[in-house]
Structure 1
């Protein structure tokens, strides 16, 4: 009976990766017959989501809900961002996404013996994944690690002798 009632809601018109700030240009509006179970942002509340960060990947053509945006930063207090320049063989083939939990391990270099004592892995989470470099496939992955471990991680990254592991459930 209520299927003829239409509601003006906010839609996504441009791809917005996780963690990116949502702008006016990313959003549109549509008039839809809205099921009461859905929690789409009403067009009148559009200003409430502009300037927030995408908590999930936002895809064009979808309705926007409040749970898909956040005012929180991906980098928490007590963390530092460390850029990791990684070759394709240093990262699992699975896609990385902002917010994903990872472990970074130090591995022996070509001039080091396999029996060398290895440090414990460093826990972090992905903040941003750069585009692969044409020709080499290398990319920069920004990770947030505990402030106490970030300098060590940066040191490891400078040698190129690291591997990135994806935590289960990420």
Structure 2
């Protein structure tokens, strides 16, 4: 029987597609790496022990920052920065050496309108001063404004209100005073020099 050109073309296309599929599967299977997976639940702040992790081979996007299986011994003794559940892949962001707040420190959340903070974005680690602003009538006294030095831990924006919540770490002895001042709504954040 005489061959039809379209049948030959279809056969060639199917063979090419099959070859590409085999190549893709081969690449996918061989593009795996050893990473650490949590084998038992770990609460935020708890120490990561040897029995809490296992090494598995997975095909992982490097953008996820997985912890390599070869680092298992290094990770033991670190602390969980977030709640970790059995079966989840361990990432660099999920482990920490230092808990926040640290010993002798307190974490205080400050909700601020745009006019109460700099337009310059705040980042974790920035040193700031929380300053008590004038009263409802805008009275300014000759006294020095009360300021409390703090370190920014995290910053998040509340889309519904347009406000920004800045979590700051302060000495434990100053946390209650700062919380009382925040309740008045009359505070502002001053960003100090980032160069040290």
Question: Same fold by TM (over 0.5)?
Answer: yes
CA positional deviation for 1:42: 4.4
Contact in 1 for aligned 2:107/2:168 (Cα 8 Å): yes
Show the counterpart of 2:192: 167
1:126-169: CA deviations, max 9, x gaps? 122222333x4112211111112111111111111111011212
Q: Assess, with a 3 A threshold, how the Cα gap between structure 1 residues 166 and 29 changes in structure 2: closer, same or farther.
A: farther
RMSD: 4.0
CA positional deviation for 1:118: 3.7
Q: Assess, with a 3 A threshold, how the Cα gap between structure 1 residues 29 and 164 changes in structure 2: closer, same or farther.
A: farther
State whether structure 2 residue 113 is matched by structure 1 residue 87.
yes
CA positional deviation for 1:53: 4.2
Runs of 4+ in 1 over 3 A off after TM superposition: 49-54
State whether structure 2 residue 166 is matched by structure 1 residue 141.
yes
* Alignment partner of 1:77 out of 103, 122, 131: 103
1:72-94: CA deviations, max 9, x gaps? 01312111111211101111112
1:48-99: CA deviations, max 9, x gaps? 2885449xxxxxxxxx98xxx6310131211111121110111111222222
Larger Rg: 2
- Size of the aligned set, in residue pairs, is 135
* Alignment partner of 1:99 out of 119, 125, 130: 125
CA positional deviation for 1:108: 0.1
Unaligned residue ranges in structure 1 (runs of 5+): 1-7, 11-23, 31-40, 55-63
CA positional deviation for 1:103: 0.8
Show the counterpart of 1:132: 158
Show the counterpart of 1:158: 183
Give the 5 Å matches for 1:7-156. 42-45=68-71, 48=75, 52-53=80-81, 70-115=96-141, 117-134=143-160, 136-156=161-181
Contact in 1 for aligned 2:110/2:182 (Cα 8 Å): yes
- Whole-Å Cα distance in 1 between the matches of residues 132 and 141 of structure 2? 13
- Whole-Å Cα distance in 1 between the matches of residues 179 and 102 of structure 2? 18
Show the counterpart of 1:3: none
Higher relative CO (Cα under 8 Å, sequence separation at least 6) belongs to 1
CA positional deviation for 1:112: 4.3
Match of 1:148, SS state, is: helix
Show the counterpart of 1:15: none
TM-score after normalising by structure 2: 0.53
